[in-house]
Amino acid sequence: MVQPLLSHRLIFVTGKGGVGKTTVSLALGLAGTRRGLRTIVADMNGEGDTTERELAPGLFQTSVDPQSAMEEYLEARVPAPAAALLRNSRLFQAFAMAAPGLREMLCVGKFWDLAQSERRTSGGGPYDLVIVDAPASGHGAAILRTPRTIAEIARVGPVAHHARTIAETLLDREFTAIVAVCTAEEMPVNETLELRDALASAVDPLELEQVILNARYPDRFTPADVRRLQAARPGLDTTAVATIEVALAEAARATAQAEQEARLREAFRDRLHTLPFLFEPRLGLPEIERLAAELAA
Ligand SMILES: Nc1ncnc2c1ncn2[C@@H]1O[C@H](COP(=O)(O)OP(=O)(O)OP(=O)(O)O)[C@@H](O)[C@H]1O
Ligand SMILES: [Mg+2]
SS3 state of residue 57: coil
Atom of ligand 1 nearest to the CA of 214: 1
What confidence tier does 123 reach under pLDDT thresholds 50, 70, 90? low
Q: What is the pTM of this model?
A: 0.91
Does ligand 1 come within 6 angstroms of the Cβ of 175? no
Going from the Cα of 180 to the center of ligand 1, the distance in angstroms, rounded, reads 14
Q: Which of 22, 63, 131, 290 has most ligand 1 atoms within 8 Å of its beta carbon, as the pocket-test mutant?
A: 22
The answer on pLDDT for 141 being more than 90 is no
Structural domain 5-219+275-296, CATH architecture? 3-Layer(aba) Sandwich (3.40)
Indicate the SS3 state at residue 114. helix
For ligand 1, atom 9, name the residue with the nearest CA.
Answer: 20
In angstroms, rounded to a whole number, what is the distance separating the alpha carbons of residues 74 and 227? 67
Residue 290: Cβ within 10 Å count: 17
> Is residue 29 lining ligand 1, measured as CB closer than 6 Å?
no
| 160-183 average pLDDT score | 92
Burial bucket for residue 56 (CB in 10 Å: 0-12, 13-18, 19+)? middle
**Residue pLDDT, tens place only, 128-138:** 999 999 988 66
- Mutate which of 61, 277, 278, 283 to test ligand 1's pocket (most atoms within 8 Å of Cβ)? 283
Provide CB contacts within 8 A for 142, sequence distance 6+.
104
Question: Is 155's pLDDT higher than 90?
Answer: no
Judge if the beta carbon of residue 25 lies within 6 A of ligand 1.
no
Are the C-beta atoms of 131 and 40 separated by less than 8 Å?
A: yes
Q: Give the residue, 110 or 265, on which the prediction is more confident.
A: 265
For ligand 1, the distance from its centroid to the CA atom of residue 282, given in whole angstroms, is: 10
- Give the model's pLDDT for residue 70: 78
pLDDT grade for 121, boundaries at 50, 70 and 90: low
* Protein residue whose Cα sits closest to atom 19 of ligand 1: 20
| Nearest C-alpha neighbor of 110 from the set 153, 166, 171 | 166
Tens of pLDDT, residue by residue over 226-271, are 999 999 999 899 999 999 999 999 999 999 999 999 999 999 999 9
Instruction: Tell me, using a 6 A CB cutoff, whether residue 18 lines ligand 1.
Output: yes
Q: Check if 109 has its Cβ closer than 6 Å to any atom of ligand 1.
A: no
Average pLDDT over all residues of the chain: 88
Question: Which residue is closest in CA terms to ligand 1's atom 29?
Answer: 282
CA 290 to chain centre: 18
User: What is the C-alpha to C-alpha distance for residues 283 and 150, in angstroms, rounded to an integer?
Assistant: 39
pLDDT at position 224 is: 95
What are the residues facing 130 on neighbouring strands?
Answer: 10, 40
- pLDDT band of residue 158 (cuts 50, 70, 90) is confident
* Torsion of the alpha carbons at 217, 222, 228 and 230, rounded to the nearest 10: 40
Q: Are 128 and 39 in contact (CB under 8 A)?
A: yes
Q: Is 229 touching ligand 1 by the criterion CB < 6 Å?
A: no
21 Cα–ligand 1 center, Å:
7
DSSP code at position 59: E
Measure the CA angle with vertex 186, ends 181 and 190; round to 5°. Answer: 65
User: Each residue of 73-96: pLDDT tens digit?
Assistant: 777 777 777 777 777 777 777 767
pLDDT above 60 (res 122): no
Does position 185 have pLDDT exceeding 80, yes or no?
yes
Q: Which atom of ligand 1 is nearest to the CA of 291?
A: 1
**Mean pLDDT lowest for which of 94-103, 262-271, 286-295?**
94-103
Q: Check whether 290 has a pLDDT greater than 80.
A: yes
Q: Looking at residue 157, what DSSP letter applies?
A: S
By the 10 Å C-beta count (0-12 exposed, 13-18 middle, 19+ buried), 4 is classed as: exposed
- pLDDT-above-70 percentage for the chain: 94
